[in-house]
Structure 1
């Protein structure tokens, strides 16, 4: 039997999301075999499903389904990244995005259609699973890109090719631009950036003529617009050309992009492992 070390307990806790004492018991029962402990904990998931159903699900996966003219991006959340890598979860995600695409469902309709399957999965794996959001895009040319299972992008073009749309989607996944065009950047955002620049460079600006300061600010705002808007960004596969120029040379215009990243906007609980250990040990002595 392998020694049940604190490091082993911590690893099991991180991989399963279970409490420290539950992890220690599972490891003891499994003779220190962490993989067997995980299997045992998953096998007992049905009796924990009700408790898990209310827990925060902020991990998970992004799925993409496309056909060159339309695409669906879907986010399905789990409580732990461990579950997001398991076959049961992957199968649920794949079935969900296929159904959403084939039946042209909105997110509320998909949630209703997949609820029975979701409850079966929750009961089997012992943690919460939620269909969170769905985006459907259509256009002349549509291409998408998945970065692992954590980031998904769909790009709509007028003209061009699916391959070009996929290349631009890959770029979006890498840079996550806030806007498509510089003209979409609000005046408030520009003023905020100007204020930040002036504050951070107060020492450099002090004593300089007004026209010099104005040119410095213009330079920073120009750089800010390039960083924030997709068409002005240097293309990741060829920094010598901007994304907008890349599309134009291919006879295309970028109509829109949609970016999904797992867990965006979800407030994740911050665990303090040391405090949890102390609390559970104290409870065990009572």
Structure 2
């Protein structure tokens, strides 16, 4: 049996919203497996779906850049938020994002590219920045979207400067409709994506492992109802349909009006523009998502340091 610490219980409570005793029991039932404990709580109806981003701890900036019918997003991490306000760091992120329009999604290729106006590669410039700014930094990821005809719209949430912020979104709209109408639609869709954080564009693109995990939770919930087998199966399928609608961009309800599905928003915009519009791709980068920084107990650190005197 794994040791269940108070810190583990607190983390699970913060993540799930369940009570302390329920969290402790969930960890005990799952031998300390955090993700399994979340599923256990959800199956018992004691927690909502796990937060998609978890505890965000990394600092830095997300950059977005658009040129013609192509857009790029890049995340560059630093140790503290203070560095994100540094002009040198911001200039680096902006330049590297623009470079990604050419190098593409491959971070290794981006780091190997020649840094404009510099004496060396992006990696060499990054190494120099670490030395001069005095804080570790890294280019974490990059993504590029494009269309043959249409526009790529961008949006930055919590902007620190033009094209730089905490959340960066790109929306690729394929269409022969006027660019101004496409840009207006793309900006609204990008704002929706920033707020709603869909897992995928469509049901077909959802990670099937995630869907099966939801199916297992739905089955356990339905089984606890005591209803007949045929009713249970309908409950399970209904739960999965709801999950797919709520977590795919095309199935979500538009946050701006709170009633229209995104797929219908696009169809209506195409009708108004006089031609079909296809949402081909989107990218949503949120600073530090999926990265957790170990929390320290400051009082314990001081006590430990005092003991070493």
TM-score with structure 1 setting the length: 0.70
Distance verdict in 2 for CA 1:143–1:201, change over 3 Å: same
Tell me which structure has the larger Cα radius of gyration.
Answer: 1
1:142 matched to which residue of 2? 152
SS at match of 2:294: coil
Distance verdict in 2 for CA 1:68–1:120, change over 3 Å: same
Report whether the alignment pairs 1:169 with 2:194.
no
Q: List gaps (5 residues or longer) in structure 1.
A: 1-56
TM-score with structure 2 setting the length: 0.66
1-structure distance, mates of 2:97, 2:74? 6
The C-alpha deviation readout for 1:34-66, integer Å capped at 9, x for no partner, is xxxxxxxxxxxxxxxxxxxxxxx9321100001
Report whether the alignment pairs 1:274 with 2:295.
no
1:133 matched to which residue of 2? 141
The structure richer in helix per residue is 1
Number of residue pairs the alignment of both structures matches: 225
2-structure distance, mates of 1:144, 1:218? 36
Contact residue 222 and residue 236 of structure 2 kept, 8 A: no
Report whether the alignment pairs 1:234 with 2:253.
yes
Give the superposed CA RMSD: 2.3
Displacement of 1:278 in angstroms is 2.0
In the TM superposition, 1:1-286 aligns within 5 A as: 58-101=58-101, 103-104=102-103, 106-112=106-112, 113-139=121-147, 140=149, 141-148=151-158, 149-159=165-175, 161-185=182-206, 188-203=209-224, 205-206=225-226, 208-251=227-270, 252-283=277-308, 285=309
Displacement of 1:188 in angstroms is 4.6
The C-alpha deviation readout for 1:225-245, integer Å capped at 9, x for no partner, is 101211000011112211111
The C-alpha deviation readout for 1:195-218, integer Å capped at 9, x for no partner, is 212323544x21x23343333223
